[in-house]
């Protein structure tokens, strides 16, 4: 059975769903400033949210970011907004294996959820951007996503649309001629920092001691998660919070297994093109084989061939299909892949770049079922209340 997940999030319910910090109007930080603001009251299970000092949260800025996030005019054919791939109604993903961009073009990667992306140390599957502000600029000028050749069409819209002109004046105290992509990116990032999920059944069980929060199967699954499954090695749980990621990059045998014979020549050709000025963002979303190079495409470090960022597991039941290429349809398939030691089918060759911690888990079918049940306990309280499942 395939579940269709529907999350209905209006801007009002989103604010209820999210936690955000309200600050003062933007001010330029002095050179070398590294201080940051933090949210002192995070959701259960989440750490305080760190806010860049040069982009404090205000409700008006969040509302502006929400409008920008959903504006389809910021694409070459007028059909693509940020929310196409990060749909409010689909747990801020698109539930496609790889995302659909302008004019029917497909990229090479699965859309990661925006939920809790505010906690990411770097953005994108390969970590090629350091923060939400810089990340938000890239899809707009990628030929397989929004497809703009530059930012001029977008800036023309926000500099001439009366609603945008008024909003940017209110939020940043600038006139229309002063609106730049940096201001656009700040607003979008501020909105994305409100898309948070915590207070799951797991959080109530683990951090509040509510022994009724998990089912018997989920409690057994937690023990598998912490023990024989070794999931916690990368999907970290700490004493008072759990982001379910180590913020590192690992080769787990997805995608790269199919092209491992091509890697030496492919890596050499990619580096040569990169040295001549090839755009990494465009290259990895335009060419399937280049995409499988993973973190290597960013760092040029051979040991990071096929390595991708550890994603959060929060709200994981809502974000199928899984992995950077969307190749695993459901959570049962995901657990079986790890149980097989980094190969989707038992007996398939293991790629030579596989991370050292990936090896057969020897879980039986009951343990697999329990682990999947536990993963569904990581759905945040707001998302769980809004999710509707259909067989």
Assign residue 16 the CATH number of its domain.
Answer: 1.10.760.10
Q: Cα(252)–Cα(309) distance, rounded to whole angstroms?
A: 10
The reported pLDDT for the residue numbered 33 is 39
* Residue 160 pLDDT exceeds 80: yes
Lowest mean pLDDT among 5-9, 149-153, 373-377: 5-9
- Do 231 and 357 share a structural domain? yes
**Which pLDDT tens digit goes with each residue over 192-235?**
999 999 999 999 999 999 999 999 999 999 999 999 999 999 99
Residues 117, 77 share a domain: yes
pLDDT at 388: 37
pLDDT in tens, 14-49: 333 333 333 334 434 333 334 466 666 789 999 999
Residues 33, 116, single domain; the answer is yes
Choice between 11 and 238, residue whose per-residue pLDDT is larger: 238
**Residue 247: band (very low, low, confident or very high) from pLDDT cuts 50, 70, 90:** very high
pLDDT score of 38: 65
Specify the pLDDT at position 345.
Answer: 84
Residue 255 has pLDDT above 50, yes or no: yes
216 part of a folded domain: yes
Co-location of 231 and 142 in the same domain: no
Averaged pLDDT for residues 113-131: 97
Residues 325 and 284 in one domain: no
Q: State the average pLDDT for the chain.
A: 89
- pLDDT, tens digit, 9 for 90 and up, residues 229-238: 999 999 999 9
Is residue 5 in a domain? no
pLDDT at position 258: 86
The per-residue pLDDT for 37 is 60
69 and 154 inside one domain: yes
Asked whether the beta carbons of 89 and 8 are under 8 A apart, the reply is yes
Residue 74 sits in the same domain as residue 36: yes
Question: How far, in Å, CA of 376 to CA of 317, rounded?
Answer: 6
Domain enclosing residue 264, as ranges: 256-305
pLDDT score of 18: 38
Residue 185: inside a domain, yes or no?
A: yes
pLDDT at 121 over 60: yes
| Residue range 281-296: mean pLDDT, rounded | 95
Q: Are 345 and 336 a contacting pair, CB within 8 Å?
A: no
Does pLDDT of 386 surpass 50? Answer: no
- Number of structural domains (the chain) is 3
Q: In terms of domains, do 341 and 266 share one?
A: no
Q: Which residues of 338-361 are buried (b: 16+ CB within 10 A; e: fewer)?
A: bbbbbbbeeeeeebebbbeebeeb
> Where does a domain end: 170, 192, 214?
192
Which stretch of DSSP H or E encloses residue 309?
Answer: strand 308-309
Q: Find all residues with CB under 8 Å of 2, minimum gap 6, and list them.
A: none
């Amino acid at each position: 059975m395939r579940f269709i997940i529907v999350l209905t999030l209006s801007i009002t319910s989103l604010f209820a769903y999210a936690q955000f910090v309200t600050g003062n109007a933007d001010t330029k930080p002095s050179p070398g400033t590294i201080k940051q603001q933090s949210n002192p009251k995070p959701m259960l299970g989440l750490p305080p949210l760190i806010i860049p000092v040069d982009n404090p949260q205000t409700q008006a800025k969040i509302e502006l970011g929400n409008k920008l996030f959903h504006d389809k005019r910021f694409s070459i054919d007028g059909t693509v907004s940020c929310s196409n791939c990060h749909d409010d109604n689909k747990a801020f993903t698109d539930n496609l294996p790889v995302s659909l961009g302008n004019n029917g073009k497909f990229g090479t990667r699965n859309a990661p959820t925006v939920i809790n992306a505010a906690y990411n140390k770097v953005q994108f599957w390969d970590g090629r951007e350091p923060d939400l502000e810089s990340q938000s600029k890239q899809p707009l000028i990628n030929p397989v996503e929004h497809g703009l050749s530059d930012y001029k069409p977008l800036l023309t819209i926000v500099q001439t649309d009366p609603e945008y002109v008024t909003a940017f004046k209110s939020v940043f105290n600038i006139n229309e001629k002063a609106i730049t992509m940096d201001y656009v990116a700040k607003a979008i990032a501020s909105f994305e920092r409100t898309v948070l999920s915590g207070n799951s059944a797991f959080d109530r069980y683990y951090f509040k001691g509510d022994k009724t929060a998990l089912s018997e199967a989920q409690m057994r699954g937690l023990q598998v998660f912490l023990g024989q499954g070794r999931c916690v090695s990368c999907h970290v749980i700490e004493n008072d919070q759990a982001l379910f990621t180590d913020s590192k990059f690992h080769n787990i045998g997805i995608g790269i297994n199919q092209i491992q014979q091509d890697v030496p020549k492919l890596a050499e050709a990619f580096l040569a093109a990169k040295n001549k000025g090839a755009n990494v963002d465009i290259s990895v979303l335009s060419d399937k084989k280049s995409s499988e190079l993973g973190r290597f495409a960013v760092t040029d470090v051979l040991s990071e061939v096929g390595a991708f960022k550890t994603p959060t597991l929060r709200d994981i039941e809502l974000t199928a299909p899984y992995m950077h290429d969307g190749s695993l349809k459901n959570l049962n398939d995901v657990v079986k892949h790890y149980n097989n030691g980094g190969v989707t089918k038992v007996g398939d060759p293991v790629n030579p770049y596989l991370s050292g911690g990936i090896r057969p888990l020897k879980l039986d079918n009951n343990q697999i079922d329990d682990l999947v049940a536990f993963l569904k306990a990581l759905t945040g309280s707001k998302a769980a209340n809004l999710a509707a499942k259909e067989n």
